[in-house]
Amino acid sequence: MPRSVLLVTQYAPPSSLVAARRVAAVAKYLGRAGHSVTVLTSAASGEGAIEGAEEVVRTRDALTSPLNWRRRHFAALTGGSGGTYRPPSRLASIVVPDLSLLTWLPFALPAALRLARRRRFDCVLTTSPPPSVHLVGLELRRRGIPWVAELRDGWTFEPPHPEWPLEAQRRADRVLERRVLERADAVIGVTRPIVDDVRTRYAVDAVLITNGFDPEEAPPVPNGPDPLLDSDRVSLVHTGRLALSGVSLERVLEGVRMAKAEDPDLPRRLEIVFAGSATADEQRLLADPEFADLVRFVGWLERPRSLALQRAADALLVITEGPRRPSVATGKLFEYLSTGKPVLVLGEETEAARLVEDAGAGLVASVSDPGAIASALVRLVREPPSVSPEAAGRYAYPALVDRLAAVIERASPR
């Protein structure tokens, strides 16, 4: 039965962040199924309507304020520009559970309460990161609106930030996490380790609904070779922001150096192409003349161009943090799977590696072992893996959003 859903998220279309793409798919396919969707989001994500949403409310956000001297770096991080970006500010190591508690929640929470007074919602769906977004759901739940909390990253489990320096901060973070997860009517995790952690620590029957890809976003089949790639070599392509993996490129490039030593003919047969925003240090490493015969950085690309480059590639590269954050399965992995091209995952201990192996969609190697990286690169050229034709089907958003709709309906019975 159709529901009226308030979807609360700091990042929404037209932002190119993975979080925004999941929101785009949820709004689109819930709307097509007859549900009434209202999206409450931040003006930092941009402007305009969202397909499937009957209403989009974009609040102010201090991240985009002229008083925020780091706003240009935020634009680069979120895909709004091709500039370099910097790591989070020191303030981010102080505010629990995250900086959005100060920058966005003071605008989002009053807006959510106004919307709830104006119309009746059957359910509120809050989707993080940042975790502070769930405090909106917590408040609306107090007012009788059923609530589904969705975790796209772990919270205190494998947090996507350095450990809090003070025990008081760690304790406050755990208290907030417990309050959210135990009071929500339903909890969704996008990877199996996140779901298992919620079930183990809080005895909450969390539901697994992975990230995915929208089949309607597939670019047209190219008429000829991609001008950014060398058609005479195997092209291994990485798209997106490198520093978000939390891994230094130096270890990856050491693997490239060892691969060249193992197979001196490799530069004639392989190219590794990086496209996306990068820090100044990453750009310096990628421009090192030692790797000019194998590695190229082509800069930031608009999303449609990035998707076209993925489909033109011979293979696609995922770089993870490895054993430090095994729950990670980056959103671009599912875009990669949709291409039908082999995927090389650096981080054999991760959920991303498990998904690729289970789907028969490529190779995995340790991200911390340059020798393993070198062997995987050489193997990619000498013995290109075949990809199962069924690899992508299970991760198409129409089917995933059907499962989400079922969770929403169970959480908000009429």
Report the pLDDT value the prediction gives residue 223, as an integer from 0 to 100: 83
Residues 256 and 368 sit within 8 Å (Cβ to Cβ): no
Task: Give the Cβ contact number of residue 337 at 10 Å.
Answer: 25
In the chain, what are the helix, strand and coil shares in percent, each to the nearest 5?
45, 15, 40
Q: Do domains 4-212+396-411 and 216-394 have the same CATH topology?
A: yes
Report the pLDDT value the prediction gives residue 96, as an integer from 0 to 100: 93
Report the pLDDT value the prediction gives residue 69, as an integer from 0 to 100: 41
CATH topology of domain 4-212+396-411: Rossmann fold (3.40.50)
Global pTM value: 0.89
Per-residue pLDDT of the chain (414 residues; tens, 9 = 90+): 899 999 999 999 998 788 899 999 999 999 999 999 999 999 999 999 999 999 999 999 987 755 444 444 445 444 554 555 555 566 777 899 999 999 999 999 999 999 999 999 999 999 999 999 999 999 999 999 999 999 999 999 988 788 899 999 999 999 999 999 999 999 999 999 999 999 999 999 999 999 999 999 988 887 889 999 999 999 999 998 876 556 678 999 999 999 999 999 999 999 999 998 888 888 999 999 999 999 999 998 988 999 999 999 999 999 988 777 788 888 889 999 999 999 999 999 899 999 999 888 999 999 999 999 999 999 999 999 988 877 788 899 999 999 999 999 999 987
Task: Give the Cβ contact number of residue 98 at 10 Å.
Answer: 24
Domain locations in the chain as residue ranges = 4-212+396-411, 216-394
Give domain 216-394's CATH number out of 2.20.25.190, 3.40.50.2000, 3.90.1150.10, 3.40.50.1220. 3.40.50.2000
How far apart (Å, rounded) are the C-alpha atoms in residues 198 and 157?
Answer: 9
Give the CA radius of gyration of the chain.
21
Distant-in-sequence contacts of 132-135, Cβ < 8 A, 24+ apart: 132/97, 132/98, 132/100, 132/101, 132/104, 132/105, 133/8, 133/9, 133/10, 133/100, 133/105, 133/108, 134/180, 134/184, 135/101, 135/105, 135/109, 135/176, 135/180
